[in-house]
Structure 1
């Protein structure tokens, strides 16, 4: 079996396990395991609040260039879409708070390519259409203004920072209604094991409480609440 095929199968297995988790349990086990600065800012919000999103990061950084012409910005933007990888989350650090960094045609293109969602530390437009196709985009603000003649991507597959979180290419992102966490790829297997065990313990605590056991006693018995 080729190395690429093995990586694809491993990624699929990880995603299947991640999709059974939720951000709170991932946060708790990561904190307990000594990790810090892995929760993305609460100013980011999902277009589709009840829809989970997870996958390895394909990262992009960009810059404002008001001198760029419209053709160049669109050429660079469509090049970004061409580079985006299936079964990944596109993570954009635009270094900008003025224009939209995701819109209608781009979202449809990415969904068709198999991209699992977008985290843009910037803006979004055409939001009703994007919601209609079920494509998840985390963003900070809405605006009708686009990137044309203003913004350019300048680096791909490089570490990017959103808030206090440094996201490396291949790190795993998980987002649900409560927020987004970033799991270092090298720690993913351990974090998944810890989260699965914690969820199992939570179910035991839940059952104990519903059976009439005092909540503090249940906590002391199972070490989870």
Structure 2
């Protein structure tokens, strides 16, 4: 690996480490203050409900047709084989809830490779297996219906849409009990710095609460200006 490539990798790893010290709400607030979309609404933790942070490895699923015959491989397999620690597999399943866009064998592969977690915009299945594997899985819902003959992988590691939020390979992903938030890589430094500042303000507010200040004073003085620069 060249010196330039090593420097870029260190910068990426540091961005993920900074993201992991935040929460989804602070990152969402930071994006909001910058006028950027980010919160992927309707997705929730179905297994191992702990915070995850990493870079997106994307998968795009479509319904089979003459125009979209698919890649010819089983959906998600290329992404699983390519992903590892520091990565979050993000499946663009177009919000479908009548058919799974992820399943148990894929979860086993993701867990084996040390993937941080999986985000599916739509339904997934074999949720019990993901729980047994302790693999964080964020999706719209669980469903037992197989993908066979119903959806195929059009491509992987391409720009996709997740609940109305554009996601490109390498974008930052954070998810916790409050939901899933996506950060464009090109704005990562700006968003992270803003989210860190918001987190510092929130901690100061909590300290004032613990010190006995009236809630009305704490919230009135700080909440509405939380996102101000």
> CA separation of 1:181/1:78 partners in 2, compared to 1, >3 Å: closer, same or farther?
closer
1:1-225 equivalences under 5 Å are 2-35=3-36, 37-42=37-42, 44-48=43-47, 50-65=49-64, 72=72, 74=74, 77-84=76-83, 86-95=85-94, 96-219=96-219, 220=221, 223-224=225-226
* SS of match in other structure, 2:98: coil
CA distance in 1: counterparts of 2:162 and 2:222, whole angstroms: 39
Bigger shift: 12-21 or 171-180? 12-21
CA distance in 2: counterparts of 1:108 and 1:151, whole angstroms: 21
- For residues 175-217 of structure 1, the C-alpha deviation after alignment (integer angstroms, 9 at most, x for no partner) is 1001111111122112222222222222222222322334454
User: TM-score, normalized by length of structure 2?
Assistant: 0.83
User: Which of structure 1's runs of 4+ aligned residues deviate more than 6 A?
Assistant: 66-69
Q: Which has the higher strand share?
A: 2
User: TM-score, normalized by length of structure 1?
Assistant: 0.84
Assess if the C-alpha contact under 8 Å between 2:104 and 2:129 holds in 1: yes
CA distance in 2: counterparts of 1:66 and 1:143, whole angstroms: 23
Equivalent pairs counted in the alignment come to 220
CA distance in 2: counterparts of 1:78 and 1:48, whole angstroms: 20
Q: Which stretches in structure 1 are left out of the alignment for 5+ residues?
A: none
Q: Which stretches in structure 2 are left out of the alignment for 5+ residues?
A: none
